[in-house]
Amino acid sequence: MAPFPPEPWPPALTSAQLDALTTAATTYALSHSLLYLPLSPPAPPPHPASAIHAPLALFPTPIPRALFSTAQRLQRAYNTLYARVALDAAFLDAVMGAGGVADVDEFTGALWETWKAVRDDCVQPLQLGLFRSDYLLHQPTADEPVRLKQVEFNTVSASFGALSQQVAALHRHLYASTSYFGASALLKPGCFPPNKTVRGLAAGIAEAHRAYGCPSAHVLFIVQPGERNIFDQRLLEYELLEAYNIRTLRQTFAELQTSASLSSTRALLTAGGEHTPNSPRPPHPTHAPPVPHSPHAPNAPIEAAVVYFRAGYTPTDYDGPKAYALRGLLERSRAIQCPSIALQLAGGKKVQEVLARPGVLERFVHDADDARALRETWVGMWGLDARRDEGAEEPEPAGTVLARARAPDLVLKPQREGGGNNVYRSSIPSFLSALPARERRAWIAMELIRPPAGVGGYLVRSGAPRAHADRVVSELGVFGWALFGRGQGVREQEAGWLVRTKADGVDEGGVAAGFSVLDSVLLVD
């Protein structure tokens, strides 16, 4: 069996070559919006006054061409799968609702209760999902083939699509301008796959905007206060305006609690906020009265066609009952939610575990080949509350007993997004001992994926004197979108990709949290 990667990675460089590539990479990043806002001083200015380049890898990451193609192909099956899960209220109630996760996880319970209270009063049949399916390469031993295994599926605030497009362009630029000093035969033009993620994600939002039927309505970005990853969002906003003449509005949950309202026809209106500059407004359709909007009247109400959440995935985004009430108001509006509460719940780790049980996936995926291909990307998963016999009395559920026994090979996951929430390996036994019995149903155990050994990279962070060489682990994410509704079918597309790379031995993987850097794909045969 041929080794992976086919030759030592990254290629060896002299100090002068490494410095030259680092300078070329960082200046390209600063010139092409591959940026982050810096950590704010105690009294930040009201508008961004400076930026730093995002953390990045100097070389792209080798990924087998066949596995990359598989991940792209499977995204369309995953798009449809999670659209169908979001439409199955009975399934979500059983898994994430009362008697399930909602009983023992306060955040999930609050989302589910909000959805339960409003779902019979919703007037918009369509939902939009901007998804990302994350994978690691799996090779437990050097004599086994490299496989593709899914880490998780993201249904809310799937980020870094735009910056990943920029870092892929950066790597192509470094190859075009330096040939990477001829350091590796693997670096050649046909091995840098195109990345058009901004176009792909914007196409999904534009499709939802078109379905809403009001050309002058905006796309509402719900964002976190003090967002540092703003350029990833801005590039998507610019694409919507330049390619589709769709204007956007940015507001936080706190701002919307005082600005958002519903019209008599359930149009979502919001006043003020930050919006893209006006271009000539097309005529407003006759099915609704015109909504005034002028740069000279910033508090005039603005109609939202799509609500795109880049916040709302963590409990800290909700400051109390008013925030959940706002989420319910948004859900009851005519604006298309991205995601709806149902679709956000569908992305829960417990749903991922339940789908892996025998026969459950086939409830939603009717093509046997697709179902088999999806299952091949999964590792073993089970709930900590799983029992050998549902009617038997056990001092500790079999799922928890198994997690103790196999702790060195496992990660435990709760129903959270955003990183920093999992429990790994040696920390598992003591965590299980402290975990209240009733909370076990909110956690799943997942077998650890074993990435190929011996892959390295040069990691570049703002302010560091030189790229840092390290053994690394890289995660491939594939984006997709789906516009769907009961009786409406599912319109969906694969929408691009990203790579995030971190030092080997680092369990968490967030770029914003400082664990990972942005990377791109180098196809190898």
Catalytic residue among 272, 380, 418, 510: 418
Average pLDDT over residues 392-408: 90
SS3 250: strand
What's the mean pLDDT when you consider all of the chain? 92
Q: Which of 84, 327, 332, 413 is catalytic?
A: 413
Does residue 276 surpass a pLDDT of 60? Answer: no
**Helices 15-31 and 161-178, packing angle to 10 deg:** 130
Question: CA 58 to CA 167: how far, in whole Å?
Answer: 9
Instruction: Specify the pLDDT at position 292.
Output: 38
Alpha carbon distance 250, 327 (integer Å): 16
pLDDT of the residue at 295: 45
List, as own/partner pairs, every contact residues 147-153 make where C-beta atoms lie below 8 angstroms and the sequence separation is at least 24, other chains included.
Answer: 147/67, 147/376, 148/67, 148/70, 148/71, 148/377, 148/476, 149/377, 149/378, 149/379, 149/449, 150/377, 150/378, 150/379, 151/449, 151/475, 152/349, 152/352, 152/413, 153/78, 153/82, 153/347, 153/352
Among residues 500, 502, 509, 516, which one is catalytic? 500
- Residue 418 falls in the annotated catalytic set: yes
Catalytic residue of the set 65, 113, 152, 419: 152
Q: Give the β-pairing of 268-271 and 301-309.
A: antiparallel
pLDDT tens-digit readout, 108-137: 999 999 999 999 999 999 999 999 999 999
Distance CA 449, CA 445 (A): 12
Secondary structure in 3-state letters for 267-314: CEEEECCEECCCCCCCCCCCCCCCCCCECCECCCEEEEEEEEECCCCC
Q: Which of 132, 234, 327, 416 is catalytic?
A: 132
Q: Examine the residue annotation and report whether 154 is marked as an active-site residue of this protein.
A: yes
Does the annotation count 520 as an active-site position?
no
| Domain segments of the chain as ranges | 15-39+50-278+298-379+449-524, 381-448
Q: Is 116 a catalytic residue?
A: no
Confidence grade of residue 280 (pLDDT, cut at 50, 70, 90): very low
Please tell me which residue in 154, 164, 333, 520 is annotated as part of the active site: 154
Q: What is the pLDDT of residue 279?
A: 38
Which 3 state secondary structure label does DSSP give 419? coil
Indicate which residue of 349, 350, 440, 502 is catalytic. 349
Sign of CA dihedral 171, 177, 180, 184: positive
Topology, domain 381-448: Dna Ligase; domain 1 (3.30.1490)
Confidence of residue 468 (pLDDT cuts 50, 70, 90): confident
Asked if the model's pLDDT at residue 71 lies above 60, the reply is yes
Confidence (pTM): 0.93
Q: Is 132 a catalytic residue?
A: yes
151-175 pLDDT tens trace? 999 999 999 999 999 999 999 999 9
- Is 353 annotated in the active site? no
263 or 42: which carries more pLDDT confidence?
A: 263
